[in-house]
Amino acid sequence: MATVWTAFAACVLCVVFGAVLALGQAVAARHRAGGAADLAALAAAGRAALWGERDACAAAARVAGVQGAALVRCSVRGDVADVTATVRVGPYAPVVRARAGPAEALPGLPAAVP
């Protein structure tokens, strides 16, 4: 009887371990997508003022690609770049949006303190 309970406990632990691994993989994918989106938005915002939207989005796509992500959407309005990126890790493909630009141009942020 103890062998049956031991085998059952081992199976339960394997299932729990598999669930924890899957959750970790999903969280890692989300963080990679978030980092790639943030860096791509910064690259686009830095290029937008001097070179325009087309070059800014091309720079964002290059930066996202180097991070192992794909650029889903890119738009530049004034000084603000709005970028969406995705990363495929196993069965997970989180899509993350990021914006970058001067603080006074981003709505919802408090005014800069002098």
- Is 56 within the bounds of a domain? yes
**CATH at residue 49:** 3.30.1300
- Is 114 within the bounds of a domain? no
- pLDDT single digits (tens) 35-85: 999 999 999 998 887 888 889 999 999 999 999 999 999 999 888 899 999
The pTM of the full predicted model, rounded to 2 decimals, is 0.77
- Is 112 within the bounds of a domain? no
What is the residue range of 8's domain?
2-105
**One-letter-per-residue 3-state SS of the chain:** CHHHHHHHHHHHHHHHHHHHHHHHHHHHHHHHHHHHHHHHHHHHHHHHHHHCHHHHHHHHHHHHHHCCCEEEEEEEECCEEEEEEECCECCECCEEEEEECCHHHCCCCCCCCC
User: How many structural domains is the chain composed of?
Assistant: 1
- Is 111 within the bounds of a domain? no
- pLDDT single digits (tens) 8-48: 999 999 999 999 999 999 999 999 999 999 999 999 998 88
- Is 101 within the bounds of a domain? yes
- Is 113 within the bounds of a domain? no
- Is 41 within the bounds of a domain? yes
